[in-house]
Amino acid sequence: MSESAPVRRTRGHLHDGREIIYYDDSHPYVDGTATRELTDTRPPVSPERAGQMRYDPLSGSWIAIATHRMDRAYMPPADECPLCPTGRGTEPSEIPADDYDVVVFENKSPSFSTRVDGVPGVSTLVDDEPLWPTLPAFGRCEVLCFTSDHDSTFSDLTVARARTVVETWVDRTVELGAIDGVEQVFCFENRGAEIGVTLTHPHGQIYAYPWVTPRTQRILTLATEHRERTGGNLLRDVLDAELRAGERVVLSGRHWAAYVPAAARWPVEVHLAPLRDVPDLPALDGDERDELAEIYLDLLRRLDRFHVAPDGSGVRLPYIAGWHQAPVSTGRDLARLHLQITSVLRAPGKLKYLAGSETGMGAWVNDATPEQIAARLREVG
């Protein structure tokens, strides 16, 4: 853990053997005077095992098949929330403690898991057809609860608590990236029913993939071509160009800058990038992590003021926030850490649907100009 952000990590296991980790920043836990309660009182059961991945020869992508996810919790009432501390609801939750600061645990219904049938990395064939190899869906999926307050959201956190979340992202990236067979770690948050969340308690997720994801692979391919053509780093050159233009820059600090990309796809889209070239979250120094906690909260609070409801109140913007990090073992000299936040809400009560052109052809149409999006985010600062 970073010396500039005292955080105490305590490990335990849930009733089915899944790991749970508390990240404490408050007394009496951070100094070790007391420890979180780790005993899960639910009857022992076997954890879900990984499904499989099937290769799509028309896209070059692996598709995870996880049928057990159909039975995962969906919008339970507040007194049955599995992410609240045990004791606040009518039955034991996923978190045995009666309170927590930040907590991470293995997902009960994982898309990827280290508990696999077969041998990780060894493929078989669907229908004995060489076009369709299949692999165990090896990896790991974790849930990260930002706060024990069920009715809160990330933008309501204090700077100190947001800093603990930053340290948790760093710690999980290091630990998951060290698992043999993991090639990429992705920290992200889905917020809002419009995005498709199944639990309203403020939380994010962390995926450890057994391959480099299609989005990252595409960026690395374009970055390779850019380097061969210009000698530069594509993501560095994009940031420098946005800073030179200035029109789409939303806010900046000593270590970070947020901007709306010149070719934004979504009705609300903003990227947050460090000014120093770093491949991933663990490469950030203490000062960069400190400022990240502040500037990220500023950005999220602007997003919460982006739209105004007919009655004049603010609108909690549904969004997806995802950290693009360098893969574990490839392309680390071409990748560059950045956060991408997107929203499907183009106006209060109006969503952008991925219709024929976007879904069928991957040809995007945006109803707002990136310059308009950036101007609005500056206005509500």
* Cα gap 274→240, rounded to integer Å: 11
Distance of CA 140 to the CA centre of its chain: 14
CA–CA distance from 114 to each of 13, 19, 137, 212, 229 (Å)?
15, 12, 8, 17, 41
CA–CA distance from 329 to each of 67, 180, 187 (Å)?
30, 11, 18
Q: Active site includes 271?
A: no
Burial 106-128 (b: 16+ CB within 10 A, else e): bbbebbbbbbbeeebeeeeeeee
Of 342, 262, 265, 266, nearest to 299 by C-alpha is 342
Of 237, 268, 235, nearest to 250 by C-alpha is 268
At what angle are helices 286-304 and 370-379 packed, to 10 degrees? 100
Query: 304: which residues sit within 8 A by CB, 6+ positions away?
Result: 155, 314, 315, 316, 317
CA–CA distance from 119 to each of 64, 134, 219, 235 (Å)?
16, 11, 30, 36
Amino acid at 338: H
DSSP string, 247-307: TTEEEE-SSEEEE--TT--SSEEEEEEESS--SSGGG--HHHHHHHHHHHHHHHHHHHTSS
Q: Which of 201, 203, 324, 338 is catalytic?
A: 203
Beta-strand relationship, 268-274 and 345-347: unpaired
Contact 172, 204 (CB under 8 A): no
* Cα gap 20→95, rounded to integer Å: 8
Tokens of 357: 């052109």
- What residues are labeled active site? 203
